[in-house]
Amino acid sequence: MEKQSNKNHFLINLGATVKFISSHLLICLWLILFFSTIELIVVWQTKGLPNNFFQLLIISLTQDLLYWLKYIWIAYLIFIPLIMFIKTPAKSILKALIILFFIIHLLLTNYFNTALIPLGADLYGYSLQDIQETLNASGGINLKAIIILVIVFTLLIYIFFFAVKKIKFTRYTAIIVPILSFFLIFSDLFSINKELQLDSDFANNLTLNKSAYFYTASFNHFFPSADETNANYKEPIATNFTYIDPKNYPFLHQENTKDVLSPYFNKDSVKPNLVIILVEGLGRAFSNEGAYLGSFTPFLDSLATKSLYWENFLSQGGRTFAVLPSLLGSLPFAKNGFLEMGDKMPKHLSLINLLAHNGYQSSFYYGGDASFDHMADYLKLNNINQIRDEKTFPANYIKIPSQNKFSWGYEDSELFRYYLSNQEVNPQPKINIILTVSTHNPFKINNEKKYQALFEQRISKLGFDNAKKQSYQNYIDQYSSILYTDESLKNFFNNYKNRADYKNTIFIITGDHRMPEIPMSTKIDRYHVPLIIFSPLLKTNAKFKSISTHDDLTPSLLAYLKNSYQIKLPKLSSWVGEGLSTDKNFTNMHRLPLMQNKTDLIDFISGKYHLNGSNLYQMSADMDEELIENDLATKQRLIAEFNQFKIRNTQIINGKALLPDSILNKYAQPLK
C-alpha cells in the first residue's frame, strides 16, 4: 500500500513537473514568434524588406518553430530530475535561464539589424578590446538600448514569475510537447529548411532565428566535427602547385608565376613606385559598370576606363583581418586568420620585405589604430619602414565624427592629405600602403549634408523610380560615405598629378571586402570587390572578366618587376595564389579558400564553382550564383581540393615553417 502511494506520489510529482516545464516552454515559443514578428517590422521600417512581408514572416515563424521543437527536449532532460529533487531552486534557475536567453536573443537581433549579417562564432575571434571598439563605433549600449533592455527584462520577470501562474495548460498539452520534440529528433522534418531558402542572402539571413544560428555556430566552434573526407572522390586531387617538401614546408613550391602585366606597361629607366590603396568595404555591388545596386563611385568608374580593371575580383576574407596577409603575402589563414597568430606569425616573404631587399622604402598609412587585428605586428614582422596611424597625426587634422565618444580615426580626405604631406620625391623607389576607414560602420562623415545631397543626385541620375529611391534612403549613411570616399580619391589623384614622381607610380586600388551593411544578394557577394591598376606608365587600358583574388596580386606584381626591372627573387616561394588572370572572358583557373570571418573557413572556389559549407553554387559571368543540388561529383571534387588546403593550413597552425631559413635570411632582409 505504501509502495503504491509512493508510486502515485511520484507520478503526480512527475506530471506536475512536466506541466510546469511545458507551460514555460510554450510561453517561450509565443515570445520567440512575437520577437521575430517585431524584428521583421523593425527591419521593414529601418532597412526595407527584400521580399513580401507575409512570405518572410511565414518562413521566419516556421524556422522559429523548427528551432523550438528541435531543442526543447534538452530542457526536459535536464530539468525534470532537477525539479523533482530540488523543486524551488530548480524552478527559479529555469526561469532565470529563459530570461537570460531572451536578453541574449534581443542583443543578437539588434546586432543583425545593425550589421545585416547574423552573429556567429566570429565573436570568439576578437579580443575584448576589439569587441569594445566595434561596439562603441556601432552605437554600443546607448541610453535607448538600455531602456529597451530594462523594459524587456521587466516584462519577462512579470511573465515568468507572475503571469505564468494565471495561464492554464491542459495535462495533455503538457505531455504532448516533450513527446513531439523527442520523436522529431528521429524524423527528417528539419530538412524542410532547404525548402525555405529564398533568392537573396539577405532574405535568408533575415528569416534565420538569430539564437539558433549563434548557438549552433558556437557549438561547432568549440566542438568541431571532422571535415568530410576525400574517400568518395576517386580522381587525382588537383592542386595549384607541385609541392617540394610538404612534410616540412607545407606550401613550398617552385616560383613560376607568369608575368602577365609587362605587356601592358611602358618600361621606365627606374623602378616604379607602388601605391596600394585598400578601400574599406568597397564592393562591386555598388561600384563600376554592371554594379547590380547601381554605381556610387563615379570617379573610380572613370579611372577604371583608363586602367587595368578586374571586374570579377575577390577578397580573401569577409572582414579586414584577411587583407594585409593575403594581398601582400599570399598567405594561408592559420586558425583565426594569419594576423591573429600575433607574435607567433611564422616568418615569410611578402611584397614589402622582398621589395625592401631590392632597395624599396615602405610605409603604411591608416586613419585608425594600426594595432587593431595585429596589423602593426604583421607590418613590423615584414620590416616596414614607417607605420603612420592615428597616433601620429598632427593636431590640425580632422577626425571622423565620434559616436559614444569613440571615433575610428581620421577621415579619408585627411588620411590622403597626411600621406601627401609626408612623401618626399627622391630617387629611391617606394611601396606605400594606404588603408581607408570612412566607409566603416557607423558611416559618420563630416559635412554629411553635402554628401547626402550628392546621394539624392546620384539615385536620380541612376534613373531609380520613387519606390526604389525610398528603399535606398534606408542606407543613406552608407551610400553617402561611399560617395565621400570616392570624392576623396578623386582629390587625391588630382593632387598626385602635381608631383614629379606621379609619372613613375603604379596605383593599385581594391576593397578589403564588400560592405555587409548594405544587404547582399549571394554568398560570394561578401567577397566581390573591384581591382584597378592605374599608372601613367600604362600603354593601354583593359578589362578582365576572369576571376582572381587578393592572393594573386603579390605574385603577379613581383613577376612583373622581375621581368621588367630585374629585381632579385628566390626560386622557391610559398604563395597560396598563382597570379592574376588576364583572360577577358569569364573563367577561373584558381583553386582558393575564402574566409568570411575569423572562425569560419567554409568557402572555397574552383573553376566556376563555389563551395559554401555543405552547399555548392555555380557562379555566372555577372558573379550571380545558382545553387547546384544534383552534381555530387563536382561537390566531392571541391571538398577534396578544399581539404588539401586545410591539411596544409593545419600544419602551419601546428608550427610548420613556410620557407627554409636559408631563403628567409637572404631575402627577408633589407638591401645593405
Return the top range by mean pLDDT from 72-81, 235-244, 282-291, 629-638: 282-291
Residue 313 β-bridge partners: 529, 548
CATH of the domain at 418: 3.40.720.10
Q: Is the pLDDT of residue 7 over 70?
A: no
Average pLDDT rounded to a whole number, residues 293-307 = 98
Residues 181, 66: one domain?
yes
Per-chain mean pLDDT for the chain:
91
Give me 502's grid cell. Answer: 606621379
Q: Evaluate whether residue 633 is within a structural domain.
A: yes
Query: Bridge partners of 573?
Result: 253
Mean pLDDT of 196-212: 90
The predicted-structure confidence for 102-114, as pLDDT tens digits, reads as follows 999 999 998 898 8
210 shares its domain with 303: no
Residue 133 has pLDDT above 70, yes or no: no
Whether 535 and 633 map to the same domain: the answer is yes
3-state SS of 172-224 is HHHHHHHHHHHHHCCCCHHHHHHHHCCCCHHHHHHHCCHHHHHHHHHHHHHCC
Q: Do the domain assignments include residue 111?
A: yes
Cell digits of residue 109? 537581433
Residues 6+ apart with CB under 8 A from 504: 268, 270, 272, 273, 536, 537
190 or 267: whose pLDDT is higher?
267
What is the pLDDT at residue 204?
93
Are the C-beta atoms of 287 and 301 separated by less than 8 Å? yes
Helix axes 53-85, 2-46, angle to 10 degrees: 150
Do residue 305 and residue 398 come from a single domain?
yes
Quickly list H helices, 393-546: 412-421, 448-461, 466-473, 476-496
Residue 134 banded pLDDT, cuts 50, 70, 90? low
215 and 277 part of one domain: no
User: What letter represents residue 483's amino acid?
Assistant: L
Rounded to whole angstroms, the Cα distance separating 278 from 315 reads 11
pLDDT greater than 80 at residue 187: no
Of the chain, the percentage scoring pLDDT greater than 70 comes to: 93
560 shares its domain with 467: yes
- Based on the domain organization, do 299 and 209 belong to the same domain? no
pTM above the 0.75 mark? yes
Q: Which three cell numbers stand for residue 170?
A: 491542459
**pLDDT for residue 6 is more than 60:** no
- The more confident residue out of 572 and 198 is 572
Which residue has cell 531552486? 89
Q: No. of H helices and E strands in the chain?
A: 19, 16
Angle at 453 (CA atoms; ends 507, 495), nearest 5 degrees: 30
> How many angstroms separate the CA atoms of 99 and 105, rounded?
10
My answer on whether 208 and 86 are in the same domain is: yes
Q: Which of 180, 207, 222 is the last residue of a domain?
A: 222
Q: All 3 cell numbers of residue 175? A: 505531455
Predicted confidence (pLDDT) at residue 141 exceeds the cutoff of 80: no
**Position 458 in a domain:** yes
**Residue 585, domain member (yes or no):** yes
State how many domains the chain has.
2
Better pLDDT: 143 or 20 = 20
187, 222, 257: which is the final residue of a domain? Answer: 222
- Decide if 249 is inside a domain: no
Q: Are 279 and 434 in contact (CB under 8 A)?
A: no
Q: Looking at 222, 254, 282, which one is the last position of a domain?
A: 222
Q: Helices 476-496 and 448-461: crossing angle, nearest 10°?
A: 100
Secondary structure of residue 533 in the 3-state scheme: strand
Find the domain containing 406 and state its range.
272-667
| Domain co-membership, 187 together with 282 | no
Between 445 and 191, residue with greater pLDDT: 445
* Res 34 pLDDT > 90: yes
**Predicted pLDDT at 224:** 80
Q: At what angle do helices 210-222 and 87-115 cross, to 10 degrees?
A: 100
Range with lowest mean pLDDT among 121-130, 361-370, 613-622: 121-130
Please report whether residue 244 resides in a domain. no
Are 176 and 286 contained in the same domain?
no
Q: Is 331 exposed, middle or buried, given 0-12, 13-18 or 19+ CB atoms closer than 10 A?
A: buried
296 and 208, same domain (yes or no): no
SS3 content of the chain, % helix, strand, coil (to 5): 50, 10, 35
Cα 637 to Cα 250, 611, 641: the distances in Å are: 21, 10, 6
- Do both 426 and 531 map to the same domain? yes
Does the residue 78 lie in any domain? yes
Query: Is the distance from CB of 221 to CB of 121 less than 8 angstroms?
Result: yes
Predicted pLDDT at 8:
63
Tell me the CA end-to-end span of the chain in Å, nearest whole number: 98
With respect to residue 240, please indicate whether it lies within any of the assigned structural domains.
no
Q: Name the pLDDT band for 143 (thresholds 50, 70, 90).
A: confident
How far, in Å, CA of 545 to CA of 310, rounded? Answer: 6
Per-residue pLDDT tens digits for 458-476: 999 999 999 999 999 999 9
* pLDDT (mean) for 306-321: 97
